[in-house]
């Protein structure tokens, strides 16, 4: 049985830190009131008391927390998370590939996407399963009984937290929850909010949970019946999810039951029978789903499983892909693989090697073209040029965006090669010093990666 490794900080290469700088101005513009910079001696026209702290950082936190594990039942998993552009890391998760006691052949995985604080998400990550099991969900599997037990577990922990929040003066946080319970016969999909879970079966997405958004007709009706409104697609113009644990400011209509409040803690629970064609499950917060769709992510993960046997590495590649695609949220993902998951193949490895060689050649051609035009080397130009090219063999669902690390590696190599070539010849002062300028430009670009 593989045991879970402790989560650890993964060293982030300097070139990856440089990559995200290209989106800093965009984030500043959208979330900090535009790109105008205050000059020397100028003061902001806004009263400091009226300004709100931004929920976004000037630069993202790129360090990732990763761990992996498995069971003797043939289920292996990895989890990775990253704070990203958010000012605080509010995600939490639970990974238990093998439960204890009479449920040793069951597994449980869940992601919790907190908002307005971390208390509820962290409490649920530690305690939700206990509340579910306390309802009597047990080894004598009756799918209806299991689903009802999960539902009652959610309502019970929410009632309990509501008391704790009043008693201990908790923060005003809430959390979505997306999870699975895996029995020998079934997979139980659990969803409360807009985190999401999907199942890949024989290469296709065969099931995914539906997000709970305030503008969904059924959710909107409940909100309005509780005396609220849906404004700007949010509950009372404030909360972007219609179901969540916590968020007790939205659960104060005393004469209505838990499930009929402005925000409901009731999960939707579905079950599917397990089959040999089941390949893998993905559980992720909306920091993933805001950047990539269900089918795209399924295809990307499936292609990576054929060239990489480290599930942690695949999870980190998904996080990087979502970052490159513009995700501004905390990002967390759990990948759970069944015995039927794709395995590394020599054919796929060969195709991957040929693709990376093709990228290497193309990057060299672009840099040579830029030099012939007496243009400075420009990494972003190289990336954009390749993005506009039709290049066969790119990872499905990821495209050229998922090969940025390869592009940067090739760029570094060929810029250094050109620089070394020019250091070995006398500069041509009659041409206006273009050789010198090219060399200096190479130095300037490379300093960003050192």
Report pLDDT digits (tens) over 46-99.
Answer: 444 445 778 899 999 999 999 999 998 899 999 999 999 999 999 999 999 999
Domain boundaries, the chain: 8-33+56-337, 346-447
Q: Strands 268-273, 245-246: parallel, antiparallel or unpaired by DSSP?
A: unpaired
Give 33's contacts (C-beta < 8 A, 6+ positions apart): none
CB 158 within 8 A of CB 258: yes
CB 187 within 8 A of CB 180: yes
Give 67's contacts (C-beta < 8 A, 6+ positions apart): 4, 5, 6, 7, 8, 78, 79, 95, 312
pLDDT of residue 138: 65
**What mean pLDDT is predicted for residues 10-20?**
47
Question: DSSP string spanning 161-219?
Answer: HHHHHHHHT--S-EEEEEEEEE-SSEEEEEEESS-EEEEEETTEEEEEPPP--TTSHHH
Residue 268 predicted with pLDDT over 60: yes
- Give tens-digit pLDDT for 164-211: 999 999 999 999 999 999 999 999 999 999 999 999 999 999 999 999
Q: How many residues does the chain have?
A: 450
Domain spanning 346-447, CATH architecture = Orthogonal Bundle (1.10)
**Integer Cα distance of 353 and 358 in angstroms:** 9
- Domain covering 8-33+56-337, topology: Phosphatase 2c; domain 1 (3.60.40)
Tell me which DSSP letter residue 278 carries: E
pTM surpassing 0.75? yes
Could you tell me which residues are beta bridge partners of residue 334?
Answer: 79, 283
């Amino acid at each position: 049985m593989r045991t879970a490794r402790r989560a650890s900080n993964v060293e982030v290469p300097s070139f990856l830190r440089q990559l995200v700088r290209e989106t800093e101005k965009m984030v500043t513009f959208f979330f900090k009131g535009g790109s105008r910079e205050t000059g020397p001696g100028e003061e902001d026209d806004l009263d400091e008391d009226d300004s709100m702290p931004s929920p976004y950082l000037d630069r993202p936190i790129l360090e990732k927390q990763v761990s992996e594990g498995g069971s003797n039942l043939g289920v292996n998993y990895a989890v990775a998370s990253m704070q990203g552009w958010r000012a605080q890391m509010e995600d939490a998760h639970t990974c238990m590939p093998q439960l204890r006691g009479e449920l040793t052949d069951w597994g449980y995985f869940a992601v919790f996407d907190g908002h307005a604080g971390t208390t509820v998400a962290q409490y649920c990550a530690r305690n939700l399963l206990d509340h579910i099991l306390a309802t009597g969900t047990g080894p004598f599997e009756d799918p209806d009984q299991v689903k009802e037990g999960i539902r009652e577990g959610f309502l019970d922990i929410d009632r309990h937290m509501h008391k704790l929040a009043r008693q201990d003066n908790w923060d005003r946080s809430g959390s979505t929850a997306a999870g699975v319970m895996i029995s020998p016969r079934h997979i139980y999909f659990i969803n409360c909010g807009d985190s999401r879970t999907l199942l890949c079966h024989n290469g296709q997405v065969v099931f995914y949970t539906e997000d709970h958004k305030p503008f969904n007709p059924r959710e909107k009706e409940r909100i309005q019946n509780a005396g609220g409104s849906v404004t700007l697609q949010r509950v009372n113009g404030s909360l972007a999810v219609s179901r969540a644990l916590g968020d007790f400011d939205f659960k104060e209509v005393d004469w209505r039951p838990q499930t009929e409040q402005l925000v409901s803690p009731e999960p939707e629970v579905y079950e599917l029978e397990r089959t040999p064609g089941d390949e893998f499950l993905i559980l992720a917060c909306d920091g993933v789903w805001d950047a990539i769709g269900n089918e795209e992510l399924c295809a990307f993960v499936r292609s990576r499983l054929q060239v990489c046997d480290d599930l942690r590495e695949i999870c980190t590649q998904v996080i990087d892909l979502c970052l490159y695609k513009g995700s501004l949220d905390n990002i967390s993902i759990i990948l759970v693989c069944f015995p039927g998951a794709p395995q590394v193949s020599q054919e796929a490895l060969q195709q991957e090697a040929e693709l990376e060689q093709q990228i290497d050649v193309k990057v060299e051609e672009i840099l040579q073209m830029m030099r012939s035009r007496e243009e400075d080397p420009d990494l972003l130009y190289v990336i954009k040029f390749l993005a506009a090219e039709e290049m066969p063999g790119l990872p499905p669902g990821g495209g050229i965006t998922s090969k940025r690390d390869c592009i940067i590696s090739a760029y570094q190599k060929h810029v250094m090669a050109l620089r070394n070539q020019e250091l070995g010849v006398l500069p041509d002062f009659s041409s206006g010093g273009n050789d010198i300028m090219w060399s200096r430009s190479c130095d300037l670009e490379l300093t960003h990666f050192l």
